[in-house]
Amino acid sequence: MGSNGFEVKRLSGAVGAKILGVDLAAEPGDNVTATIRQIWLEHGVIFFRDQDLPPAKFLAFAKRFGTVVEYPFIKGIEGFPEIIPVVKLEHETKNFGGIWHSDTAYLERPPMATMLIAREVPPYGGDTLFANTYLAYETLSAGMKRMLDGMIAVNHSAKADVTRTREDRLRDGAKMEAKKEYISEHPVVRTHPETGRKALYINIGHTVRFKDMSEEESAPILAYLFQHQARPEFTCRFSWRVGSLAFWDNRCVLHNPVNDYHGFRRVMHRVTLAGDTPR
């Protein structure tokens, strides 16, 4: 039990914690916000249950942690352009972002963080997996670390289209920007600007090759690293209920929504917080 009267329970040994006993709609003060941020930085992703957060309150809570930015590819919900609907309908078989990734890593300044709140959930399935990329880096061999330190990864939105990690998929509601292609170059090993820890900053959804190497040359190393990032001991799994909220750090955490609820509807609302240029 923390000094602010709420309880923190870890989801796994690697990543993730639930925060119990806090009502986010009550507009937590600066002290509570600061404590939540420290817990978030420590665990990479934090979860809250049974939160009554209509769009205005959801947005207000997000703004306590950073600048909310509009997703560049798909329109927000009515009256709240910063809140993006993440929806899989009953007749659909593909879900949004159904592969390990960090949100929009193909942008020059990828988002610092993402918040996702559940509005409608299926009767079973639809969990989300999270992976700690600090651990992915720290458990590499000394030789692999020496090779990767200083290397640059090329990330491309065209791969995001193929891997379905761009939520728009040029559906109804997509902005004109959805048809653009985005390419970014980021360090393979990223230093977190707040914690100072190093993380393996690549992902199978967006990373296509290493700078100054071909895709064919890069492929064997990337294949190993993608598999390594998702080792079970680096992960946690979160089961959603209506009113559940997840808040994850895109600088050191990957996520993967599990697509195992065909025939049922799942509706989430998402906001992203502005980040910096990875270094």
Catalytic residue among 43, 166, 206, 270: 270
Catalytic residue among 103, 156, 190, 269: 103
Catalytic residue among 43, 190, 251, 255: 255
**8 phi, psi to nearest 5 deg:** -115, 125
> Regarding beta strands 17-20 and 45-48, do their DSSP bridges make them parallel or antiparallel, or are they unpaired?
parallel
Contact at 8 Å (CB) between 82 and 69?
Answer: yes
Q: Is 103 a catalytic residue?
A: yes
Query: Tokens at residue 73, please?
Result: 């590819």
Q: Is 101 a catalytic residue?
A: yes
Calpha distance 19→16 (Å, rounded) = 10
Query: Tokens at residue 20, please?
Result: 């119990």
Q: Is 255 a catalytic residue?
A: yes
Burial degree of 57 (CB within 10 A; 0-12, 13-18, 19+): middle
Calpha distance 168→179 (Å, rounded) = 10
Catalytic residue among 43, 101, 166, 192: 101
Residues labelled catalytic = 101, 103, 255, 270
